[in-house]
Amino acid sequence: MDLLKRLKENHILIVVYILIFVFLIFQEAIFSPDTYGYLKARPNRHPGYVIFIKAFEFIFTNYFAKIVVGIQLVLGMASVHFFLKRISGILSFNKLIRSLLLIVLLFPFFPPLYVANNICSEGLSYPLYLIFITLSLEIVLNEKKKLLLFMSIAYILLVLTRGQFIIASLIFAFTYLLKHRRNTLIKSNLKVFFIILFLPLFVIMADKTYHKLKDGLFISTPFSFINASAAAFYVSNDTNFNQIENGDYKAIFKKCYKYLSEKDLLLSRQKQTNYKTYYNHFHNHIPQICNQTIHQFSLEYYIEKHTAQGLDINPAVANSYWQSELAAQSLFFTLVKLNFKSWCNLFFANIKHAFKGVILFFLLLGFFFYSLFKLLYSKTKDYYILFILSALILSNAFIVCFASHSIIRYLFYNYSLIFITFVMVLKIIKQKNKRIKSK
Task: Say yes or no to pLDDT of 1 above 60.
Answer: no
Residue ranges per structural domain of the chain: 224-337, 355-439
Condensed to tens digits (0 to 9), the pLDDT of residues 242-254 reads 999 999 999 999 9
Q: For residues 207 and 7, which has the higher predicted lDDT (pLDDT)? A: 207
Condensed to tens digits (0 to 9), the pLDDT of residues 19-50 reads 999 999 999 999 998 999 999 999 999 999 99
What confidence tier does 4 reach under pLDDT thresholds 50, 70, 90? low
User: Mean per-residue pLDDT for 283-304?
Assistant: 95
Assessment of whether the complete model's pTM goes beyond 0.75: yes
> What is the per-residue pLDDT for 182?
79
Whole-number percent of the chain with pLDDT over 90 = 86
Give the integer Cα–Cα distance in Å for 407 and 329: 22
Q: For residues 437 and 203, which has the higher predicted lDDT (pLDDT)? A: 203
User: What's the per-residue H, E or C state across the chain?
Assistant: CHHHHHHHHHHHHHHHHHHHHHHHHCCCCECCHHHHHHHCCCCCCCHHHHHHHHHHHHHHHHHHHHHHHHHHHHHHHHHHHHHHHHHHHHHCCCHHHHHHHHHHHHHHHCCCCCCCCECCCHHHHHHHHHHHHHHHHHHHHHCCHHHHHHHHHHHHHHHHHCHHHCCHHHHHHHHHHHHCCCCCCCHHHHHHHHHHHHHHHHHHHHHHHHHHHHHCCCCCCCCHHHHHHHHHHHCCCHHHHHHCCCHHHHHHHHHHHHHHHHCCCCHHHCCCCCHHHHHHHHHHCHHHHHHHHHHHHHHHHHHHHHHHCCCCHHHHHHHHHHHHHHHHHHHHHHHHHHCHHHHHHHHHHHHHHHCCCHHHHHHHHHHHHHHHHHHCCCCCHHHHHHHHHHHHHHHHHHHHHHHCCCCHHHHHHHHHHHHHHHHHHHHHHHHHHHHHHHC
Whole-number percent of the chain with pLDDT over 70 = 98
First to last CA, the chain: 36
Mean per-residue pLDDT over the chain, rounded = 94
Condensed to tens digits (0 to 9), the pLDDT of residues 169-208 reads 999 999 999 998 877 678 788 999 999 999 999 999 999 9
Condensed to tens digits (0 to 9), the pLDDT of residues 366-416 reads 999 999 999 988 888 999 999 999 999 999 999 999 999 999 999 999 999
Condensed to tens digits (0 to 9), the pLDDT of residues 83-105 reads 999 999 999 899 999 999 999 99
